[in-house]
Amino acid sequence: MMGNEEDSFDEGDMIFVKMMKAKDIEKLKVGDIVTWYDINRKAFNTHRIVDIGSNYFVTQGDKAADDPDLKYDPDRNDNNPNYYEIINKSDVKAVHVSTWKGAGKALDFLQSPIGFPLCIVLPAVLILIFEGAVLVRNVIKYNNAKMEAKFKQGKVEDLSLLEQEREKIRQEILQELKQKEQSQAEEDNK
C-alpha cells in the first residue's frame, strides 16, 4: 500500500485493523483499506477499495493507483488485471484503522535467525542464569544459617559435657586427696 495517500503505508510498517462482521461489510466504501486472505499468496493482503460491485470489491494498491496507466477505472474496459484484484465481499476480514511506522521492521527482525536469539533467547537465558544464581545464593545462605544453628547447639552441648567432665575430674581428684590424707594420717599415727 505504498503511495501518496494520507493513510498509505510502506513495507515494514505495522498496521492495526478492526475485524469485520458480516453486517459491517456493507458499510465499507470506496477509499477504505481492507484486509483479506489471499489464497494464491497464502497470506493476508491489504489494498484500498477502488470500486464496489453487488457482491465484490475491486481493490488496488496505492502505488499502482498513483500511476495513471495502471490506475483502475471502472469506466474503462482496458484495465490491466495485474494491478487490481477483485475479491468477494465475504472474504474481507478487517478494515485498516491506523499505522505504526517502522514497527513491522522490528517484528521482522525478531523473526530473523539473528533477531530471535539476540532479543528473545539471550535475555531469557540471562534471566534464567540470574535467577539460578539467586537461588544458589539463597540455598547457601539457608544452609549456612542451618549449620550455624546446629554448631551453636552443638557448642552449648559440648560446653555442658565439658563442664560435667571437669566436675567429675575435680571430684575424683578431691577423693584421691582425701584418701592420701587419710593414709598419711594413719601412717603418722603409727
Instruction: Give every residue of the chain whose pLDDT is below 70, as ranges.
Output: 1-8, 62-70, 72-83, 190
pLDDT score for 131: 98
Measured in degrees and rounded to the nearest 5, phi and psi for residue 188 equal -70, -35
DSSP 89: G
pLDDT score for 168: 94
pLDDT score for 90: 87
Fold of 14-110: SH3 type barrels. (2.30.30)
The domain spans of the chain are 14-110
pLDDT score for 59: 85
Q: What is the pTM of this model?
A: 0.56
pLDDT score for 18: 92
Cell of 118: 539476540
Q: How far apart are CA 78 and CA 34, in angstroms?
A: 25
pLDDT digits (tens, 9 = 90+) for 39-82: 888 988 888 888 888 888 888 876 666 666 667 666 666 666 66
Residue 103 contacts residue 9 (beta carbons within 8 Å): no
pLDDT score for 143: 95
58 has which bridge partners? 51, 86
